[in-house]
Amino acid sequence: MTTAFGTVLVIAKEPVPGRVKTRLVPPLTHHQAATLAGAALHDTLAAADAVRARKHVLAFDGDVSGWLPHGWTHVDQPEGGLDERLGAAFDAAHAGVPAVLVGMDTPQLRPVHLDAFDPVRYDACLGMATDGGFWTIGFRDPSVARSVISGVPMSTSDTGAEQLRRMQSAGLDVQLLGVLTDVDTVADADAVAAAAPDTRFAAVLTGMRRAA
């Protein structure tokens, strides 16, 4: 089944050296880490763009010049924690029509990962990450997003479990999607590149390895 969403959202940060993927430094330099983050964002946007939706939205922190795909809408991320910024991103979605959101840390993303969400049978979806977080979250009706995301502690080993608990406590029937690895460490980067060798992310990382 291929789902036609109301909105597909990507939340991302401009890949500026020293502001992204700092846990890759060392062994990478800040410039290399930012270059790799840019490759991950490119792969993520390409996969999200291939998912059928009424509109695609990039919720961006930084200068969006050169990053906004053709036909996409751009919204700035507000101040506040990641939970608040995730909830705010869903404000750009079509109300009452299914929407899904992904970040920029899973360049192995494929359209099939998001198309797996079945909003006819389920109220929401959540894709867990191997580090305990989550790589995607979606809703049949995105107007409920803020209320169930706000206040969830982010970037912890049980963020995904707590987000699931909050959604279920709100009475949502949640579909769990596949588990993916977020790129947080160099070991993560190697694992993701090996699993998705056809990505720009893998090509950039391979080039860095060869040049080292």
| Helix %, strand %, coil % of the chain (to 5) | 40, 20, 40
> What pLDDT was estimated at residue 123?
97
φ, ψ for residue 180, nearest 5 deg? -125, 160
Q: Judge contact between 152 and 92, C-beta under 8 A.
A: no
Give the C-alpha separation, 163 to 115, whole Å. 21
> What pLDDT was estimated at residue 1?
45
The list of the chain residues with pLDDT below 50 reads 1
The CATH class given to the 5-211 domain equals alpha beta
> What pLDDT was estimated at residue 94?
87
> What pLDDT was estimated at residue 3?
63
Amino acid code (one letter) for 209: R
198 burial type by CB count under 10 A (0-12 exposed, 13-18 middle, 19+ buried): exposed
| Whether residue 142 has a cis bond before it, omega within 30° of 0 | no
Each domain of the chain, given as residue ranges in start order, spans: 5-211
pTM for the full predicted model? 0.95
